[in-house]
């Protein structure tokens, strides 16, 4: 597996984790639990952003090599 494919797989995982935290947060009745879940969801959003930047950087590297 090449690195771009690896990062794309990880991106799918991060989107799935973010969605799980969102659903859990919507169902949480305790505000402290909701706050924790919202923070975890936000961190997954940061991971998504980092991965998207990494994928774009790898794409540029790949274009330079060609």
pLDDT tens-place string over residues 2-12 = 888 999 999 99
Cα–Cα dist 2/46, whole Å:
23
Residue 44 CB coordination number (10 Å): 20
Relative orientation angle of helices 31-65 and 3-27, to the nearest 10 degrees: 160
At 45, which helix (H) or strand (E)? helix 31-65
Are 8 and 58 contacting, i.e. CB atoms less than 8 angstroms apart?
A: no
Can you read off the two tokens belonging to residue 38? 């919202």
26-46 tens-digit pLDDT: 999 999 999 999 999 999 999
- In the chain, what are the domains? 3-65 (1.20.5)
């Amino acid at each position: 597996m090449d690195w771009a494919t690896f990062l794309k797989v990880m991106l799918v995982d991060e989107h799935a984790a973010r969605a799980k935290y969102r659903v859990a947060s919507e169902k949480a009745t305790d505000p402290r639990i909701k706050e924790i879940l919202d923070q975890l969801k936000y961190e997954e959003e940061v991971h998504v952003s980092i991965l998207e930047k990494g994928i774009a950087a790898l794409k540029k590297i790949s274009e330079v090599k060609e």
